[in-house]
């Protein structure tokens, strides 16, 4: 009967001035393996816990400083939906709050009877499950703000994350390298009932196979050469929290067998040890490999795959969500600025060019590019032609509406700026006796001066624009007009 309510992710909070109540309740919850109980004597002690972590159930007992009804209302101000149970002494007539909101499950009498508690735990589990389903019907676009972008592909990922975040199910995160798989795992942990405990990542592909077992499960002193003391592994460090196994597809077959045992039996031993250690850890794994193909090739165990693949989340590559490039660039730039590093402003033409690129390195490659542009053009504007050639090929056609933001100024030659630079020529131009084509002559002169400026400035468009005393956008337009590259040829 109690099995439905039992889960390693359950966590309860008791507010009660009597420690004896906490001892009794904790003893029963531990006996039925429901989950841990945290006890505080006052609401002042409870507030930081409720702000930092989520609980499956709240018990309200005796409180010398506050009547139960007022205590209940204050707690409802902190959490509107958490299920609540009151602890009442059998021989004491106590009044429950007159106005009870949804989630008020009733009360338990003291001394607590195990069967009565199990019934209430079942009700709490049913209520929490129903509440999670209701929350999924809401708009997910505002969830997980750490996930940048609101394309249809990313909102689908958010929907899946919302469904599994508050669960203890194993999650397998799939996607190309650089798509942000660890960011997803961190978000799922941060919004889960385990958020008050540790998130421990480990890259299975970056650690030699003969050392990975010790990294995961720890070792005892003298277990191997160099083991001068006992050491906890990642599973012990993540106890009560989440372990993230990145690049699980690179794990060796012998190590896969040992991991499978932990997932099945929830126990492990340190290397060189004989004592079994119980593990209460949520497992998330990620890989850029096709594990089903690896199974066919004999490189990955099928039984381990099905243990990990309880709830798969596949991240789209960046080229399938190119509408998110603008927000991603802004978020990356903001982070660089917070770190005190130089940033550049990528103009609409540059964003458009980047949205046409295939991004084999995904978000990681975009982050590196934004950082590079900040170093090359600190506190300056970057147009499409300022980007490295691989991101803006010559055949790319930038829409007129993007490139022509300053076309009026460009068409006018920007007299307000070009006349204010104090330029002078060594001698006055001489009109040939046969006359000349003024428009062609001026164009030829303009092209030659732009070419000289680009050569003088080593192809840095921003510097060349300053040398010619024109806007960068104007210079970019004229470079396109005369088919000039940054080297001036």
Helical H segments across 309-437, by residue range:
325-338, 348-355, 362-376, 400-403, 407-412, 415-418
Contact 28, 112 (CB under 8 A): yes
Same fold? 2-135, 413-422+435-489: no
- Contact between 232 and 266 (Cβ < 8 Å): no
CA nearest to 49, candidates 87, 14, 8, 23: 14
- Domain spans of the chain, in order of start: 2-135, 152-316, 322-403, 413-422+435-489
Whole-angstrom distance, CA of residue 73 vs CA of residue 43 = 11
CATH of 413-422+435-489, one of 1.10.10, 1.10.150, 3.40.50, 3.10.620: 1.10.10
For residue 38, what are the β-bridge partners? Answer: 13
Measured between alpha carbons, how far is 12 from 35 in angstroms, rounded to an integer?
7
pTM exceeding 0.75: no
Q: In whole numbers, what is the pLDDT of the chain averaged over residues?
A: 82
Domain range 152-316, CATH architecture: 3-Layer(aba) Sandwich (3.40)
Q: What would the pLDDT profile of 138-174 be if each residue is shown by its tens digit?
A: 556 667 888 998 888 888 899 899 989 888 899 999 9
Give me the CATH code for the 322-403 domain, please: 1.10.8.60
Of the ranges 35-39, 96-100, 378-382, 460-464, which one carries the lowest mean pLDDT score?
Answer: 96-100
Rounded to an integer, the average pLDDT of 95-101 is 49
Helix (H, G, I), strand (E, B) or coil at 12: strand
Asked if residues 230 and 218 have their Cβ atoms less than 8 Å apart, the reply is: yes
- pLDDT at residue 237, as a whole number: 95
Residue whose entry in the numeric block shows the structure tokens 């099905």: 306
More confident residue, 41 or 408: 41
pLDDT for res 108: 82
What class is the 2-135 domain? alpha beta
The first and second tokens of residue 393, run together, are 């090929």
Q: How confident is the model at residue 333 (pLDDT cuts 50, 70, 90)?
A: very high
Distance CA 321, CA 222 (A): 52
Of 48-52, 315-319, 374-378, 439-443, minimum mean pLDDT range: 48-52
Helix (H, G, I), strand (E, B) or coil at 109: strand
DSSP result, 315-337: PPPGGG-GGGHHHHHHHHHHHHH
């Amino acid at each position: 009967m109690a099995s439905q309510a039992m889960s390693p992710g359950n966590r309860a909070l008791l507010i009660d001035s009597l420690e004896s109540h906490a001892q009794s309740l904790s003893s029963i919850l531990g006996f039925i393996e429901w989950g841990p109980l945290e006890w505080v004597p006052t609401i002042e002690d409870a507030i930081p816990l409720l702000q930092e972590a989520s609980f499956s159930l709240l018990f309200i007992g005796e409180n010398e400083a506050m009547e139960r009804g007022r205590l209940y209302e204050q707690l409802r101000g902190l959490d509107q939906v958490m299920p609540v149970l009151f602890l009442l002494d059998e021989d004491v007539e106590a009044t429950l709050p007159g106005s009870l909101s949804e989630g008020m499950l009733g009360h338990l009498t003291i001394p607590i009877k195990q069967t009565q508690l199990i019934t209430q735990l079942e009700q709490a589990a049913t209520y929490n499950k129903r509440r999670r389903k209701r929350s999924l019907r809401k708009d997910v676009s505002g969830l997980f703000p750490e996930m940048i972008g609101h394309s249809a592909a990313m909102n689908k990922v958010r929907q899946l994350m919302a469904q599994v975040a508050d669960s203890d199910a194993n999650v397998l995160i799939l996607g190309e390298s650089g798509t942000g798989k660890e960011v997803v795992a961190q978000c799922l942990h941060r919004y889960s009932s385990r958020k008050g405990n540790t998130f421990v990542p480990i890259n299975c592909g970056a650690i030699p196979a003969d050392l990975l077992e010790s990294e995961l499960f720890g070792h005892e002193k003298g277990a191997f050469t160099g083991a001068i003391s006992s050491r906890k592994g990642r599973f012990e460090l993540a106890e009560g929290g989440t372990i993230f196994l990145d690049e699980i597809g690179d794990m060796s077959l012998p190590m896969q067998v040992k991991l499978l045992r932990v997932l099945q039996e929830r126990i492990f031993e340190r290397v060189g040890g004989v004592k079994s250690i119980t593990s209460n850890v949520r497992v998330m794994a990620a890989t850029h490999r096709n594990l089903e193909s690896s199974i066919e090739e004999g490189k990955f165990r099928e039984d381990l795959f099905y243990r990990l693949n309880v709830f798969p989340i596949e991240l789209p590559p960046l080229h399938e969500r190119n509408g998110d490039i603008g927000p991603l660039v802004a978020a990356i730039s903001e982070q660089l600025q917070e770190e005190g590093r130089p940033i550049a402003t990528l103009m609409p033409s540059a964003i458009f060019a980047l949205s046409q690129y295939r991004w084999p390195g995904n978000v990681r490659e975009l982050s590196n590019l934004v950082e590079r542009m900040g170093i090359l053009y600190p506190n300056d504007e970057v147009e499409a032609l300022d980007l490295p050639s691989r991101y803006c090929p010559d055949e790319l056609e930038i829409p007129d509406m993007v490139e022509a933001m300053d076309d009026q100024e460009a068409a006018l030659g920007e007299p307000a700026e070009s006349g204010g630079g104090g330029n002078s020529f060594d001698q006055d131009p001489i009109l040939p006796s046969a006359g000349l084509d003024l428009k062609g002559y001026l164009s030829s002169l303009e092209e030659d001066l732009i070419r000289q400026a680009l050569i003088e400035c080593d192809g840095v468009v921003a510097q060349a624009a300053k040398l010619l005393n024109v806007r960068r956008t104007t210079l970019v337009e004229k470079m396109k007009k005369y088919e000039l590259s940054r080297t001036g040829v």
